Amino acid sequence: MTLPNKISDFEGQWHLKRVIQDAKAGQIVHADGQASLKRSDDGLIYEEEVTLCVPGQVPMKGTRRYQWREAEGAIAIYFEDGRYFHTLKLGLPRVLDHHDCPPDSYDAVYGFSGWPCWNVRWTVSGPRKSYEMNTEYSPR
């Protein structure tokens, strides 16, 4: 099984499909778009553009941006403003991590068993949040 084992394995363009099952709102949201990971001085810049389809609303555009930095056997992922987000361990078919953002809790499960296609599932809980976000990535 081929697995990503260095940050440069993610460099390039990715198609993404996302499904958000929002228990609090009682709805399922879909997103379709692309992510690009481009080389920077200390790793990669992750930029995503999606079209978000919320039931009963006009489709809308969404964007995200993160900094991916090389770490020992892993990738340290930071928000655009430089705050630490979480760590993605490399060379494993399945990776778990957690991000605590009181009062909310974010749990990630990355899957690489179909590399170069990969996925991440975030389970988010808190006083005002209860959703699962599944994102599938495939090379463009």
Q: Where are the domains of the chain?
A: 7-139
Residues 7-59 pLDDT 10s: 999 999 999 999 999 999 999 999 999 999 999 998 999 999 999 999 999 99
pTM: 0.94
Classify 7 as helix, strand or coil: helix
Superfamily of domain 7-139 in CATH is Calycin beta-barrel core domain (2.40.128.20)
Determine the pLDDT at residue 126.
Answer: 94
The pLDDT, as a whole number, for residue 105 is: 95
* pLDDT value at 80 more than 90: yes
Rounded CA-CA distance 5/107 in Å is: 22
- 3-class DSSP state of 10: helix
Asked whether the predicted pLDDT for residue 90 surpasses 90, the reply is: yes
pLDDT in tens, 98-137: 999 999 999 999 999 999 999 999 999 999 999 999 999 9
DSSP 3-state of 9: helix
Which among 33, 41, 28, 1 has a CA at the least distance from the CA of 14?
33
Give residue for tokens 């940050």: 7
pLDDT recorded at residue 54? 95
- Give 1's pLDDT tier (boundaries 50, 70, 90): confident
Say what the alpha-carbon torsion angle 99, 16, 95, 4 is, to the nearest 10 degrees: -130
Going from the C-alpha of 23 to that of each of 5, 86, 134, the distances in angstroms are 35, 24, 14
Q: Buried b / exposed e across 10-36, counting CB within 10 Å, b at 16+?
A: beeebebebebebeeeeeebebebebe
